[in-house]
Amino acid sequence: MSRRKVAVVGAGMTKFMHRALETPKELAWLAAKSALESADMKLNQIDCIVLGSAPDAFDGVHMKGEYLSDGCGGWKKPYLRCYVGGGTGVYAVAQAWFHVASGLFDTALVVCEEKMSSCLPHPQAAFLTIFDHITEQPLKPNLLWIFALEQTRYMETYGIALEDIARVSVKNKRNALDHPAAQLGADLTIKDVLASEVMAWPVHRLMVSPTSDGAAAVILAGEEIARRISDRPAWIQGVGWCLDTAYWTNRDLAYPEYVEKAAWMAYRMAGIREPRKEINIAEPYDPFAYKELHHLEGLQLAPKGQAPKLLADGVFERNGDLPVTPSGGLLGVGNPIAAAGLMKICELFWQLRGEAGTRQVPGKPERGVAQAWGDLMQVGTVVVMGTKEPA
C-alpha cells in the first residue's frame, strides 16, 4: 500500500488548570497558536483541521465541535471533530495522520480541548451519564466505581499490593514538577499517597487525576513539507486503535486486550517486533495510578502483572531503562480529557527532539509510544513516533 510518510512538526499547549479564565474557544486558540509558532507556520499553510474533544456535557456547550471551530483555525477549511472519550487525544492524531498519509492534505492542525470546570458543582455529575441508562444508571453509580472495580480485579488477579500502585502517583506527580504547564506536580512519598483519603477502596485520592481546563495542539505534515520546514521532524511510525464491547461487566477487566490489539496495529506498521527492546520512552494513559501499569502491560512493555515490579525496580523512572510518563502525565500535569491525551503526543515530540528541558530523558530517545484510553473502559488508542523516517 502506498501512503505518504507523516511527521509531527509543531506542538503547543496551554497550562492545565483547575479553572481557567479563558473560554473553551480561547483555550483552543492559545494551543493552536503555540503549535503554529513552534513550527514557524501560519494558518494559511494548514490544509485541514482535526478537533478532539470529549463529552459536550463538561463544557456544557452543545455541538462543541462547531462552537470550537474558530478557535481551532477551522475558518473555511475542511474540519472534523472526532471523539472516543478519554481515548480522543491520541486518536485525533491517528485521524489527522490518515488525512495526510492518504495524500488528501499536505498539512493538518490537531487541536484538543476540554473545560471541565464549567460543570457545577462538580463534573462528576456529567460522568454519571456514561453508564448504561437503563440497566446501570438507576443504581446511582459514580465514575470512581468503574475504576475501583477494575483496579480490584487487576490487583487480585496478579497479587499486586497497593504500595505498588501508589508508586505511580509518586513518580508522575514528581515528574510533573518539571512541566511548565502542570497543575498538580508534587513531591510525595508512597506513605503520603496511602494516607490520602480513600475515595473508593482501593482508590485513594492521590491516585486520581484532577479535573482540568486546558488545550493542546500539534501540526502534522507530509514528508516533502516535513523535510523542508523542520530540521527534526518527529515521524509518525504507526497508529492503532481498537474498541472492546460496551458490556463491560462481561469483560475480564484484569488485562486490557483492546490496548494490546491497538498496540500491535501500531507496532506492525512501525516494523516493531519486540516492543520492550525497540521503544525508548512511553507515555501511557494514567487517569488513575493503576491504569498506567495496566496499560504498560497492554502495550507489551511489561509482562502481565509485572509492571508494578518493573516500576519498583526503577525501570520506569525518567533515568531508568524505559522512562514512562516523563511528562508527569494526567496525575501530575492534569486531565482536561482530550487535551491530556494530546499532551502525551506533545511530550513525545519534545523528548524526541531533545527539547524537553529539565524533563529530558537521557540517551537521546529514538522512538516513543503514546496511548490513551476511554469510552466505557473499552477503547485503546496508540501512536508510535520516532526520529527515523519510516521505511
Residues 42 and 52 sit within 8 Å (Cβ to Cβ): no
Count CB neighbours of 241 within 10 A: 23
β-sheet bridge partners, residue 243: 379
Min dist CB 302 to other proteins, Å, is 21
Question: Which residues, 6 or more positions from 250, have their beta carbon under 8 angstroms from its beta carbon?
Answer: none
- Choose among 42, 52, 48: nearest CA to 113: 52
Q: Which of 93, 101, 160, 253 binds other proteins (CB under 8 A)?
A: 253
Residues in the chain: 391
Binder among 149, 190, 194, 376 for other proteins (CB under 8 A): 149
Who's near 138: CB < 8 A, 6+ residues apart?
none
Find all residues with CB under 8 Å of 277, minimum gap 6, and list them.
none
| Rounded Cα–Cα distance for residues 198 and 299 (Å) | 29
- Applying CB under 8 A, the span of 125-133, 168-176, 256-264, 267-275 interacting with other proteins comes to 125-133
Site mask for other proteins (CB under 8 A), range 281-320, x = bound: ----------------------------------------
Question: Which of 4, 45, 77, 136 is close enough to bind other proteins by CB under 8 A?
Answer: 136
Which of 12, 85, 210, 374 is in the footprint of other proteins by CB under 8 A? 12
Nearer Cβ to other proteins (216/270): 216
What secondary structure letter does DSSP report for 83? Answer: -
Q: Which three cell numbers stand for residue 252?
A: 475480564
**Shortest Å distance, C-beta 228 to other proteins:** 17
Interatomic CA distance for residues 205 and 319, integer angstroms: 27
CA 51, chain centre distance (Å): 15
Name the one residue in this structure whose C-alpha cell is 501512503: 3
Q: Which of 63, 76, 231, 250 binds other proteins (CB under 8 A)?
A: 250
Say whether residue 38 binds other proteins (CB under 8 A). yes
Residues numbered 64 to 123 that lie near other proteins (CB under 8 A) are 120-122
15 scored as a contact of other proteins (CB under 8 A): yes
**Contact between 128 and other proteins (CB under 8 A)?**
yes
Among 90, 148, 259, 384, binds other proteins (CB under 8 A): 148
Q: Which of 44, 134, 231, 274 binds other proteins (CB under 8 A)?
A: 134
Stretch touching other proteins by CB under 8 A, among 136-144, 274-282, 288-296, 313-321: 136-144
What 3-state DSSP class applies to 17? strand
Site string for other proteins, 193-232 (x = CB under 8 A): ----xxxxxxx---------xx------------------
